[in-house]
Amino acid sequence: MRSLRSNRPAPAEAEWPSCFVGLAAVTVHEGTRLVAYVVGRTEELEELLASRLPEYLVPAAFVPVEALQLTANGKLDRRALPAVDLGPAAPARTAAGPRERLLAELFGEVLGAGEVSPDDDFFALGGHSLLATRLAGRIRTVLRADLSIRQLFEAPTPARLLAALDAGSPAGDPFAVVLPLRAYGSGDPLFCLPPLTGLSWRYAGLLRTLGGRPVYGLQCRGLRGNDALPGSLAELVAGFIAEIRRLRPHGPYHLFGYSFGAPIAHAVATALQSACPGEVGLDASEDVVVAAVGDRVAVGVAQ
């Protein structure tokens, strides 16, 4: 059973209308799990939500109802909702040994999340690039491990990180042009274009909102000083396109950019749109500027 554990979503975040749901309400069951009451079809709804929401926002149960009762004030009458018995939540797996337990404790210490299980994802629990840097430092100090922040992106649970450290996996370069924020998962990958710093570490904060889709951060070449910086904007864009096509030869392509990354994402999308018509989706943001996602790239302003 899915548990909210250290996540604190509002139930309304998971109320997701679709073509086959007329009305839905989501409640928190015993403080740990979400239950959805649905007016309409519930078949395939879990699969649909799982493909579009983080795991902790997918309800543990879907209860079909004929109608949602309202109070005299026009609000949902939660007391009128039918009771549901989910049974006891499955206990989290305990650490397999002292090093795995220590890693889980360090995760919890940095996140301020209390108890963390060996299979809890650092970023799903609210971790971001600044906290990842702090955690990497704590692990290097306590475990005397050769660890880079990139390894945390690639192995974000205590169990997976311990396996990577025990296997002697190379630390990886956090300044490389391609930073795999999440190289595994299902669905089309999201490619994030860097802000003015040239680094895409900050996009780690998006991971908990993107379900299980792969996410790659693209970064400026030459940040370590051992390679030449791009000589022009066109050269920068061409380099990013080459990396995107290397990782994914065919679309659809989904792009995201913040700050300076917004016009870069638009330039990359424009070039990809010319090469691969109908295969590009763009989500670029700079203050209130966003771009529509669809078969064609279009920029609009949030009102």
Task: Please name the residues in contact with 72: beta carbons below 8 A apart, sequence gap of 6 or more.
Answer: none
Q: What is the pLDDT of residue 296?
A: 34
The CATH number of domain 175-303, selected from 3.40.50.150, 3.30.360.10, 3.30.56.10, 3.40.50.1820: 3.40.50.1820
More confident residue, 16 or 263: 263
Rounded alpha-carbon distances, angstroms, from residue 20 to 27, 46, 145, 180, 261: 20, 12, 51, 35, 37
User: Each residue of 50-102: pLDDT tens digit?
Assistant: 766 666 677 878 888 888 888 888 888 888 888 777 665 566 677 778 889 99
Span 226-233, average pLDDT: 84
Rounded to two decimals, the pTM is: 0.61
Please state, for a pLDDT cut of 70, what percent of the chain lies above it: 77
Domain 11-71 has CATH 3.40.1170.60: no
User: Each residue of 288-299: pLDDT tens digit?
Assistant: 233 333 333 333
Which among 4, 120, 20 is positioned nearest to 60, based on CA atoms?
4
Cα separation, 262 vs 283, in Å, equals 8
Span 38-53, average pLDDT: 74
| DSSP one-letter code for 203 | G
Using 50, 70 and 90 to split pLDDT, how confident is the model at 247? Answer: very high
Q: What is the pLDDT of residue 281?
A: 58
The domain segmentation of the chain, as residue ranges, is 11-71, 96-172, 175-303
Using 50, 70 and 90 to split pLDDT, how confident is the model at 106? Answer: very high
Average pLDDT for the chain: 77
User: Each residue of 113-125: pLDDT tens digit?
Assistant: 778 888 888 888 8
DSSP code per residue over 70-117: B-TTSSB-GGGSPP----SPPPPPPPSSHHHHHHHHHHHHHHT-S---
220 pLDDT more than 90: yes
Domain 96-172 has CATH 2.60.40.10: no
Q: What is the pLDDT of residue 286?
A: 39
Q: What is the pLDDT of residue 282?
A: 57
Q: How many other CB atoms are found less than 10 A from the CB of residue 180?
A: 17
